[in-house]
Amino acid sequence: MPTTQQLQDFTQQVRRDIVRMVHAVSSGHPGGSLGCAEFISCLYQEIMDYSTDFKMDGKNEDLFFLSNGHISPVYYSVLARSGFFPVAELATFRKLNTRLQGHPTTHEHLPGIRIASGSLGQGMSVAIGAAEAKKLNNDNKIIYTLHGDGELQEGQIWEAAMYASAKKVDNLIATVDVNEKQIDGSTDEVLAMGSLKAKFEAFGWDVLEVKEGNDVEAILKGITEAKGRTGKGKPVCILLYTEMGNGIDFMMGTHAWHGKAPNDDQLESALTQNPETLGDY
- Predicted model pTM: 0.97
Above 90 in pLDDT, residue 200?
yes
Average pLDDT over residues 205-229: 98
Q: What is the pLDDT of residues 81-129, one digit of tens each?
A: 999 999 999 999 999 999 999 999 999 999 999 999 989 999 999 999 9
pLDDT at 1: 84
pLDDT at 118: 85
Q: Which fold has domain 4-273?
A: Rossmann fold (3.40.50)
CA dist., res. 193 & res. 145, Å (int): 20
Contact (CB, 8 A) for 259 and 28 = yes
Please state whether beta strands 143-148 and 63-66 pair in parallel, antiparallel, or not at all (unpaired). Answer: parallel
Distance in angstroms between the alpha carbons of the first and the last residue of the chain: 24
pLDDT at 183: 87
Q: Where are the domains of the chain?
A: 4-273
Residue 166 host element (H or E): helix 155-166
**What percent of the chain has a predicted confidence (pLDDT) above 90?**
98
pLDDT at 169: 98
Q: What is the pLDDT of residues 138-191, one digit of tens each?
A: 999 999 999 999 999 999 999 999 999 999 999 999 999 999 999 888 999 999
pLDDT at 60: 98
Nearest CA-CA partner of 130 in 61, 80, 181: 61
Tell the burial category of 65 from Cβ atoms under 10 Å away from its Cβ (0-12, 13-18, 19+): buried
